[in-house]
Each structure stands twice: as structure tokens, then as C-alpha cells.
Amino acid sequence: MKAVKPTLLGYTLLGLLHQKPASGYDLRKLFAATPLMSYSSSPGAIYPALGSLESQGLIRSTVEEQGLRRRNVFRPTSAGTKCLRTWLLQPLTTEDVVRKIDSVMMRFGLMDQVAGREASLNLLRGFEPLLAIHVAGLQRFLDDNGSAMNLSGRLALESGVRSYKGLLSWSRDAIAEYERAGKRGKK
């Protein structure tokens, strides 16, 4: 078995297709219409990415001619779904928190549908302590070096610290929300 490792965009497409089969054009519209992500809806990004997923056997396309123009509708293969799950369920690393937040949030956003609520809650429970550690480190750096920096530099750094603090409190709220939803579900 060969190593198959889509890019973040690839995984994202895979996740979206898992939620609902779609054509390249559908996906482009989706990217353009939702603030979900920082991706561009450019065809030069999406069509090649779909092509590469298909050539790796992770998605399959079927042509639909339903009265209108020809549409190339993609859906994940079982290998694709498996690959997606593996990516989603991968344990979180410090590196993920420090430099790949986008990827983490994307994984989380797709998680419910593909891997279930248990898994989502699990991810959050791993996320929170890693965030707490990182926030503490940033705060420490700011305390140590802030006074030696010029105002705009210090404020820029502060904005980064705040943003991680916000994420930390978000993660706590999100855990609480899952726990509430879980209780309701079991009643």
C-alpha cells in the first residue's frame, strides 16, 4: 500500500464531498459563499486538487447530464472516507496548535459528520490543555519582553496572545456545549 497524503485543501474537499457529493463548480461556489475558510475559490486550486484526489483513488466522479449541461459529480470512495477518518482522528500535537490552527479547526468542523460527536469532544479535550500551555508561554514572553518593545510591536504581539486566549475560552465553551448536548441525547 502506498502512502497517500492529501493536502489540507484535499482533506477539506474530501470532507465536503462526504457531507454531500458535488461538482467542482459546486465546491467553488461553496468556497465563495461561506466564510468557512481562508481558501480561494479559484479553479486553479480546486480542479487540480480534485484531479489528484481522484488519481489517488480517494474520490470517484460520475457524469450527470440531467437535462442541463454536463456536470462531473464527485463522491468519496471507501478508501477516501477511511483516509479522511485517519486524518481527523490523528492525535493533536503541539505543532498543530502553534502553527497549524487552521488545519485543526478544519478537522474539528468536519468531525461530527464523519467521526461522530464522541470524537469531536475528544478532540476538544485534547486541544484545551495544549492551548493553555501555549497561552502561558506567549504570556510569559510578553511579560518578559514587552517593556523592551516599541508600542506597535508590543500591541501586535498582544493581539496574538489575545487571539489564543479567545480560542482557549472558546474551547472550554465548546466542551460544555458538547457535554450538554450529550446529556440531552442520552435522556
Contact set with a copy of itself (CB under 8 A): 34-36, 38, 40, 99, 105-106, 108-113, 117, 120, 137-138, 141, 145, 150-153, 155-160, 162-163, 166-167, 170, 174, 177-178, 181
> In terms of CB distance, is 6 or 76 closer to DNA?
6
CB of 11 to DNA, least distance (A): 9
Contacts of 104-110 with C-beta under 8 Å, sequence gap 24+, read 106/8, 106/11, 106/12, 106/15, 106/37, 107/11, 109/15, 109/36, 110/11, 110/12, 110/15, 110/16, 110/18, 110/19, 110/84
User: Applying CB under 7 A, which of residues 19, 51, 82, 137 lies at the interface with DNA?
Assistant: 51
Torsion of CA 49, 38, 139, 93, to 10 degrees: -20
Judged by CB under 7 A, the number of residues near DNA is 29
Binding site for DNA (CB under 7 A): 5-10, 23-26, 28, 39-40, 42-45, 47-52, 67-72
